Structure 1
Amino acid sequence: MMKAAVPETFGTLDQRSRDIFRRIVESYLGDGEPVGSRNLSRILPLALSPATIRNVMSDLEQLGLIYAPHVSAGRLPTQMGLRFFVDAFLEIGDLPPEERKSIEAQVRAAGSGHSVENVLTEASQILSGLSRGAGLVLATKVEGALKHIEFVRLEPTRALAVLVTQSGDVENRVIDLPPGVTASQLIEASNFLNAHIQGRTLSEARSELARLKEETKQALDQLSQHLVEEGLAIWSGGGNDQPTRLIVRGRANLLENIHAQDDIERLRHLFDDLETKEGMIQLLELAEAGSGVRIFIGSENKLFSLSGSSLVVAPYRDAEQRIVGALGVIGPTRLNYARIVPMVDYTAQLVSKLLR
């Protein structure tokens, strides 16, 4: 989890100040409303007068941990206060057994058809439903081991290239055929590719064919050789380091408690930024920078600085333990972090297992 630099002064807070601060934050996380000294005097375990509590609240304001949204109102935690609470007070337990079983059953059911896309979409939906925020999954292009490639003629100058991986994923692309290509040349090109790509990733297959360039020229005529090169080239540019898609479920959840048009516009900009190539790369870098779940609150990251949202995110890995994507929850800063952190962590572990 991300740890922010907390001023040393915070460590000098006495137990009374910590208790009052903690109650203010817990009240905010519960209902989003400011809490005043009179209400705090009723719920604190210590018998303190409202006047004493107000003095402590004034000290907490001086430290930048809380603020008053309106004159004579109660207090809310600042962004710095939320970060301090998450780092110093948040107790993160494990998910209840029944919730773990439910998440596992849904993720495994989605993966029963060997579709990575289904698994990732279901993971996003699960996180949205359980958190009441937006579930987010960033998927990079995973280079699986190849099993088979075939060319199927559609019309005289076009063919369908069908690529099958050893995990059962199938991709189809339409390619243009050079004039004069015969059915036997399509078969010849397929056979040559299948003899050299099986068990290799696309990048490995391209390297192998480059190494066999002279042999390829001798074994194939010019048109068949063009098909071999075209057959691999159409899948190029999708290496592990380039995110390819962002799956988001539950965006409407973020609008439930938003009424101001400005806030809605900020959320729209957030998702527009996330869906750009730069935004997705940055999101993946955020997840990669830590070994597990990371928490970003408001403007701690420029992606969320305008929307005032929080992100709980964790990476997931392939069979070689390479980080190939990230998943998490976006929501208001008063997310139930104690519940969502283990939820995101467990879902990332499940997705990693299914990708092995």
Structure 2
Amino acid sequence: MFERDRLNQIPPLVGMDDRVKDIFRTIVESYLSTGDPVGSRNISRALPISLSPASVRNVMSDLEQLGLIYSPHTSAGRLPTEMGLRFFVDAMMEFGDLSNDERNAIKRQMTSSHQPDAGFESLLTQASQMLSGLSSGAGLVLANKQDQRLKHVEFVRLEATKALVVLVDEDDKVENRLMTLPKGLPASALTEASNFLNAHIRGKTLSEAQKEIEAHHVELQAELDDLTAKLVESGIATWAGASEDQPQSLIIRGRSNLLENVTAQEDLERIRHLFDDLESKKDFVQLLELAEQGDGVRIYIGSENQLFSLSGSSVIVSPYRDGNQKIVGVLGVIGPTRLNYARIVPMVDYTARVLSSMLTDPKRRFESD
């Protein structure tokens, strides 16, 4: 599930005894619960052992020197730093599993409102909406557009040497790409090229369609004249090249959740920048690249990897796969750094597995795991 592969980036707490662990855990768990700094007196009362506020302050001083906690104001309580949160998540947090009821609820939400013949994007939207509702954060689903399956291609002449390549995917989304036509191309060639492509690409991804056309090169030359054959090859290549410039389809649901309980001006500014990045899809290509490096849930806290270009937001994501076990996208949750990691990590992991199963066999009705 969650890959604990970042511990080497955290300063080892050599000789950390139970007293230090309890104090550090109390500070972090208080922050995750309330978002507020906690002082030595309240920590002393919350500890399972008897320890004076003065002793607690001594330990807090050591933790602060290690860079794991900090004081937001003079004489205030303490909050975990991003590095402290990372250490806690990697080394101390216990990730439970979902109950059978929670698993069944996720499967019901993913399957009950999704028909087997519905489009791919409809399924992704449902996953994003569900994650938003369950996490109280924003649900994110990112897909590789080249993995969306094709339904229809058509060439529409605009002028003697210009045409649109019109492509429709299985979600009935239409995209147009401008291309240059070979000189002397008759009007009938546009129809013949469309028919040939539609006979070979329906139900295939863009990359599969390109391979299909390449595999039928001899047949292409035999069935069509030279100009029409060139139109078929250049038409699919034109659309593929445009898709490579915008390789992702991004679905975000529950952005309003990010504005709840935000009071400080700096938090509002952070959310504004996050919304800007979500609109521009900035840095999201990193999520696909990082997902392909290994299985399991990955957690990015604050400014790590410069996702969304600012500190203050956390992302929990997991890859999902198609029927060939190829990673075709990621899904997850975006929220403040005080997300409920212990609850959201298994939720994201299980949702990714359900989505992968549905992409493998859209008609499958899931049994309890």
Q: After TM superposition, is the score higher than 0.5?
A: yes
Helix, strand or coil at the partner of 2:139: strand
1:321 matches 2:325: yes
Q: What SS does the aligned partner of 1:334 have? A: coil
Q: Deviations over 1:159-181 (max 9, x none)?
A: 885656xxx55454557897985
CA spacing shift, 1:99–1:243, aligned 2, 3 Å:
farther
The secondary structure found in structure 1 opposite 2:250 is: strand
TM-score w.r.t. structure 2 length?
Answer: 0.81
> What secondary structure sits across from 2:338 in the alignment?
coil
Structure 1 ranges of 4+ moved more than 6 A: 152-160, 175-180, 238-242
Task: For 1:318 and 1:242, locate their aligned partners in 2 and report how far apart those are by CA, in whole Å.
Answer: 20
- Paired positions, count: 350
Gap runs ≥5 in structure 1: none
> CA separation in 1, counterparts of 2:357 and 2:258?
30
The whole-number CA distance in structure 2 between the counterparts of 1:237 and 1:94 is 43
**Greater mean alpha carbon deviation, residues 121-130 or residues 279-288:** 279-288
**Counterpart for residue 137 of structure 1:** 141
Task: State which of 41, 64, 67 in structure 1 corresponds to 2:67.
Answer: 64
Residues of 2 paired with 1:145 and 1:250: CA distance?
A: 27
Mapping of residues 294-305 of structure 1, within 5 Å: 294-304=298-308
Which deviates the most, 318-327 or 262-271?
A: 262-271
Deviation of the 1:196 alpha carbon: 4.5
Tell me what 2:126 maps to: 122
Q: Could you tell me how far 1:138 is from its partner in structure 2?
A: 1.2
Q: Which moved more, 1:309-318 or 1:204-213?
A: 204-213
Preserved contact between residue 270 and residue 303 of structure 1 (Cα < 8 Å):
no
- Structure 1, residues 49-107: CA drift from partner, whole Å, max 9, x if none? 22222222222222222222222222211222111111121111111222222211121
Counterpart among 16, 20, 31 of residue 17 in structure 1? 20
Single out whichever of 332-341 and 272-281 deviates more from structure 2.
Answer: 272-281
Query: Following TM superposition, by how much is the alpha carbon of 1:243 offset from its aligned partner in structure 2, in angstroms?
Result: 3.1
**1:96-115 aligned within 5 A:** 96-112=99-115, 113-115=117-119
Q: For the structure 1 residues 153 and 87, does the alpha-carbon distance in structure 2 shift closer, same or farther, using more than 3 Å as the test?
A: closer
1:136 is displaced (CA, Å) by 1.1
Determine the C-alpha separation between the residues in 1 that align with 2:232 and 2:309: 48
Task: Supply the distance in 2 between the matched residues of 1:301 and 1:337 (Cα, whole angstroms).
Answer: 18
Unaligned runs of 5+ in 2: 361-369
Partner of 1:45 in structure 2? 48
Q: Distance in 2 between matches of 1:42 and 1:321?
A: 51
Quote the residue 1:82 is aligned against: 85
Task: Show the 5 A alignment for 1:148-227.
Answer: 149=152, 151=154, 161=166, 163=168, 169-173=171-175, 187-197=191-201, 201-207=205-211, 209-210=213-214, 216-217=220-221, 219-221=223-225, 224-225=228-229, 227=231
Identity value in percent: 58
Using a 3 Å threshold, how does the CA distance of structure 1 residues 63 and 206 change in structure 2: closer, same or farther? Answer: closer
Q: Is the 8 A contact 1:127 1:134 kept in 2?
A: yes
Are positions 1:289 and 2:293 aligned together?
yes
C-alpha deviations, 1:286-328, integer Å up to 9, x for none? Answer: 3333321011111222125624111111111111211111111
Equivalence for 2:271: 267
Check conservation: 2:146, 2:207, Cα contact below 8 A.
no
Task: Calculate the TM-score normalised by the size of structure 1.
Answer: 0.84
Paired with 1:116 and 1:260, the residues of 2 have a C-alpha distance of 39
What is the distance in 1 between the residues matched to 2:288 and 2:216? 36
Instruction: Check conservation: 1:298, 1:304, Cα contact below 8 A.
Output: no
Equivalence for 2:364: none
Structure 1 residues 205 and 38 mapped into 2: Cα distance closer, same or farther (>3 Å)? closer
Q: Secondary structure at the match of 2:319?
A: strand
